[in-house]
Amino acid sequence: MLINRGFLQFISALKIQLRVVVALFLRETRTTFGNSSLGYLWAIITPALGVAFLVIIFSFASRQPPFGQSLALFFATGLLTFEFYSKLSNSLTTVLDSNKALLVYPIVNQSSAILARSLLVMITYLIIMCIFYGVLISSGLAHFPANPVKLFFAFLNICLLGFAVGILNLAIFNFWDSWIHVWKIINRPLFFISGIFFIPSLLPEKALNYLQWNPVLHLVEAFRSSYYPNYDSRVLNPIYLIVLSLIFIFIGLFFERLGRRKSKN
């Protein structure tokens, strides 16, 4: 009897939290994109223009794609992967400040706000990628993914690492306000060393010894090795990605709990 009562209380609390997450998700959608559908449309157009700009530049330079037959596909697999990771990790840094007014209510907790924003970014980029790659395929600039199941797990890896880095940054930011500026400086070089413009496996061994510690490089390699049928990566290590993400989440949650205890005292 006591077990049944406890289970029912757990289910009731879970339903309430799900409603809170959905409400915060809808609020985040309106805040980010506005009430107009054009706001959501710009979220799709922006990365598309970025890839198109790169393709035009390298086409004028008469450059062949580093891999495959399509410049658009090669840059899309790198650029969209990097933008998705960056958007998710950076947006979580300020999620508590954005929802500070709502966090005074007992029913709304920090985890609900973090989950709502994470889901918004993940769903948005899932739609962006489906539409963008669909357009490339229909226009003859890309082929169907060689391994859709593996590609889906590559997408989940982006979600996991982006969420982990976001949680870690959020925890550090709560202790040190200036961290957001330091992180921007650290994050900026990743755009050039994450394999967006080149194939890491063709680099000398000395360069790979340093670049292989960059987890974003592994994300790009995971996505490309899933999309292209014969893309062999000397760098990709899925276990490294998962372990590093879990370590970041653990550290982030530890500092978040530490900060919560300090605020109570």
pLDDT tens digit sequence for 54-66: 777 776 665 678 8
Q: What is the pLDDT of residues 69-108, one digit of tens each?
A: 888 889 889 989 998 999 899 888 877 777 676 666 677 7
163/165 Cα distance (integer angstroms): 6
200/132 Cα distance (integer angstroms): 24
103/26 Cα distance (integer angstroms): 16
CA 200 to chain CA centroid, nearest Å? 21
State the pTM of this model.
Answer: 0.88
Q: What is the pLDDT of residues 227-250, one digit of tens each?
A: 999 888 889 999 999 999 999 999
Residue 206, sorted as left (phi over 0), alpha (psi -120 to 50) or beta, turns out to be alpha
- Count of beta carbons in the 10 Å neighbourhood of residue 182: 13
